[in-house]
A and B are shown apart, each in its own frame.
Chain A
Amino acid sequence: MRKMALGAVILLAMVACNSNSNGSVGTRPTSTAKLTILQPTTGSTVDGKDVEVKLSLVGGTVTTVTVSSARIQPNIGHIHLRLDGNTITLLGHLDNHIKNVKAGQHILEAEYVAQDHLPWAKDILSTVSFTAR
């Protein structure tokens, strides 16, 4: 019984402490969305003339509207696509095409960011490496 009481105290304290999860003003918010690059897959070889990029975003929506940090909302944001560290687009969609990729190995990153184009407190990033021919 005493162990149950102790468990209840710990649980209550954790629930109480976690109830305050709505980020304080002035800090970067977090997003619970999950972003995955479905295509190209890691290790795949694709035609460099037109690399088709397919993404999956769960728990978030994509918008083209940009607003300042004071007005951003959780789980609404943009998709940034980077190829070998260079940004390709800041307003990516779930289906994208990258034209004229040089032959060779490449790293593709897709990041889900807030509407102010700044990353969330914890980055939501998916990375694949592929070869263009």
Chain B
Amino acid sequence: MIALGASLLAAPGALAHANLGSSDPAAGARLDTPPSEIVMHFTEQPELSLSGAQVLSSDGARVDDGNLRQEPDPRALVIGVKITAHGTYTVAWHCISKVDGHATAGSFAFGVGVNPSAPKKNLPTGPPPNPIEMTGRFFFIIGTVLVFGGALVALFVATGARRILRRYVIAGALAGSAGVIVLALAEHGTTHASWSVLFKLTIGQALIERVAALVLAAVAVAVAVRWWSYALALLFAAGAMFADVHAGHADATYSWIGGPVLEVLVQCVHFASAAVWMGGLGALLIAIRGGESEDKASAVVRYARFAALSIFVVAASGLYRAIGAIGSWHGVFHSGYGYSVIAKTVLLGLLALLAVRQRFFNLDKVRTTLAGLRRVGKAELTVGLAIFIATAILLGLSPPPPVSAASAPLVADAMDLGHTVSAHLVVSPGQAGINTFTVSLKTSERPQTVSLRFVYASGSAIGPSVLPLERRGNAWTATAANLSIQGLWNVTVVTQGATTSSEVPLEIATHCVTDAVPGPNGLILYTQTLSGGNSDSMYLDPGRVGHNEIHFTFFDPKGNELPVPDEPTITAWRPGTNARGLALRRFSAGHFIASARLGRGKWRFEADAVPKGTTQPLRACFEQTI
């Protein structure tokens, strides 16, 4: 476990890279009236000047106004559109994260008056791992580690070897600076920004800060071989680490105390501990070259104390960051990011074994021989080098996206009334719009035709529809937009055999596309973009079995409370049960609370509200498992 935790050294947050989280119109949506703008919400703040979007009609004509802006939410990009005809429209976007400079791009389609015929999937596509960036990052990490570890050893462990360690620290500073320059080249290539523009941006300034700190560290040690020069080098190396962490994913990761402070602090400590362990070991091996002596033996013992502490801190901080970074075991075993984590885990385990051997076999012998310590130490450094390579690769990859409810397919099982046919329905992706429906049947008679009948159960907005399915092996499938709007649907599987027919009733609800952040005491706070640029916030309090309150607050496009004159309808639904309307109370013009006693299970809460001055209802919903 310690190895696993430590292996996640410098693991970025789960929201790493600016991926598209949601949009209005949503991917695959069918709109009756044309939108005036497209709003895209990203998981990290985009760098507006380096991001772009185009909205194209099905014949390739641009329908956007070219004015990409970032308001009111800094994580959202907005572009105006002028659409005058029904048809399918495609939004192609590219984005540079303001947090780390990583690039992502993707596209999605929506329809005006028609079901979008283009693939509706919102597929963020980051560029493949950039070897230039990884090389630069590797040299920056290694260089900073050498400076920090070398300065620490010169200050506290082997004070008599300060002159010898000067080259070690300067070499580290130069390697780290070279790494930053390579990183700058990579950023320049990724962003396609001019150098003057790049260095005005957050990511460019972070590059300058890192290289400045390392150069100052080199100058400090070059000027004098005194304790204060190494103290300055240590300070400047710490500054370079902070600049790196501040410009990384830790700074965009939420922690339980609120904001990124804890994540940044943990990552700083993590980086410094790794530098003490590996950078200090390299410096120690240089400091104890030559024959054995009492001074060298004492230096080894002093270093061992630092090393023991740093190993523990690296493991603890790595474990902490890992919990937020990966989120699921699936992500570990099904992504390049996860494979890098596994590689680091194996290497860290090996390194831990070597450290144990040093501590229990070689440390007691250092007053008579340093040979064993040197031999195992070199092996440790070799493994450490491989770990830093894995770290550089890891930092260049996007962690696997969290498996959210909104990305999981809908699944429903049921039997017909006569218990002769059993149906298993999978709807992917399970959101309103185009879905792929796959039905598996267990029946004594092989059906000749299978179809799905859809009836909207969340209102009377649309009439029923039927979708014939095609046989694919043992399953029946079709892709269509019958789940055209968000809500609860009665879906009946209709089978027709040579002599018999059957109907299997199922109930499914489209996923709610929301942004969620953790609140205090286990609360989950949801926000949702609604039609017309409106939005709402929702939460379930306390979100445990028993009495709960469900909050819905509506906002207009400017972020002001949106008055809802007539009380909305709020329903709660759990698969396998009937949706039930909840008694609700009004607390202000646009804030309503419903109360309910809830049992365990996956609940879906939905509010239908008609804002003041319109007849078009807003449908808000969120899903939460109790």
Contacts and interface: CB of A to CB of B under 8 A. Distances in A.
Contact of A121 (B519, B537, B551, B561): B519
Interface in A103-131: 116-123
Interface in B367-419: none
Closest 7 CB pairs of A and B: A121-B258, A23-B259, A68-B559, A123-B520, A30-B258, A5-B231, A66-B561
Given A12-B235, A67-B561, A71-B559, A117 B537 contact: yes
A118 B268 CA distance: 31
Given A27-B254, A30-B257, A117 B520 contact: no
B260 A27 contact: yes
Contacts of A30: 257-259
B560 A67 contact: yes
Given A68-B535, A119-B525, A8 B72 contact: no
Interface in B560-586: 560-561, 585
A9 B560 contact: no
Interface string A41-75: 00000000000000000000000011111110000
B164 interface: no
A9 B187 CA distance: 30
Interface string A5-23: 1101100111011101111
A133 to B, nearest CB: 25
Contacts of A69: 527, 537
B239 A16 contact: yes
Interface of B: 43, 45, 72-75, 155-156, 227-228, 231, 234-235, 238-239, 241-242, 245-246, 251-254, 256-261, 264-265, 268-269, 272, 515, 517-521, 523, 525, 527, 535, 537, 539, 547, 549, 551, 553, 555, 559-561, 585, 587-588, 590-591, 593, 595
Given A9-B234, A116-B553, A23 B155 contact: no
B520 A121 contact: yes
B227 A1 contact: yes
A21 B259 contact: yes
A20 B272 contact: no
Contact of B265 (A17, A70, A119): A17
A91 B252 contact: no
Contact of B553 (A66, A87, A89): A66
Contacts, number: 152
A16 B238 contact: yes
Given A5-B234, A116-B553, A18 B45 contact: no
B551 A117 contact: yes
B235 A122 contact: no
Interface of A: 1-2, 5-6, 8-9, 12-14, 16-18, 20-30, 65-71, 85-87, 89-91, 116-123
A30 B155 CA distance: 39
Contacts of A23: 258-260
Given A118-B525, A121-B257, A25 B587 contact: no
Contacts of B241: 13
Given A13-B268, A28-B254, 18 more contacts: A2-B227, A5-B227, A12-B238, A17-B264, A17-B265, A17-B268, A18-B261, A20-B264, A23-B258, A24-B254, A27-B254, A27-B260, A28-B519, A71-B559, A85-B549, A87-B585, A90-B591, A121-B520
B260 A71 contact: no
Contacts of A91: 587-588
B525 A28 contact: yes
B519 A119 contact: yes
28 contacts: A2-B156, A5-B227, A9-B238, A13-B268, A17-B245, A17-B268, A21-B259, A25-B45, A25-B74, A25-B75, A28-B254, A29-B258, A30-B257, A68-B535, A68-B560, A70-B72, A85-B549, A87-B585, A90-B587, A90-B588, A91-B587, A91-B588, A116-B537, A116-B553, A119-B520, A120-B520, A122-B257, A123-B521
Contacts of A17: 242, 245, 261, 264-265, 268
A113 to B, nearest CB: 10
A91 to B, nearest CB: 6
A16 B557 CA distance: 37
Nearest to A5: B231
A4 to B, nearest CB: 9
A26 B264 contact: no
A74 B126 CA distance: 35
Nearest to B552: A117
A26 to B, nearest CB: 5
A13 B156 contact: no
Contact of A27 (B517, B535, B585, B590): B517
A76 B448 CA distance: 65
Contacts of B231: 5, 8-9
Contacts of A85: 547, 549
A27 B537 contact: no
A5 B560 contact: no
B232 to A, nearest CB: 9
B259 A68 contact: no
A9 B235 contact: yes
Contacts of B539: 118
Nearest to B42: A26
Contacts of A14: 265
Contact of B259 (A1, A67, A121): A121
A70 B561 CA distance: 12
Contacts of A16: 238-239, 242, 268
A87 B272 contact: no
A118 B519 contact: yes
Contacts of B252: 24
A48 B324 CA distance: 47
A62 B537 CA distance: 20
A69 B261 CA distance: 20
Contacts of A9: 231, 234-235, 238
B272 A13 contact: yes
Contacts of B251: 20, 24
A28 B560 contact: no
Nearest to B559: A68
Nearest to A125: B520
A118 to B, nearest CB: 5
B525 A86 contact: no
Contacts of B73: 25, 70
A124 B370 CA distance: 58
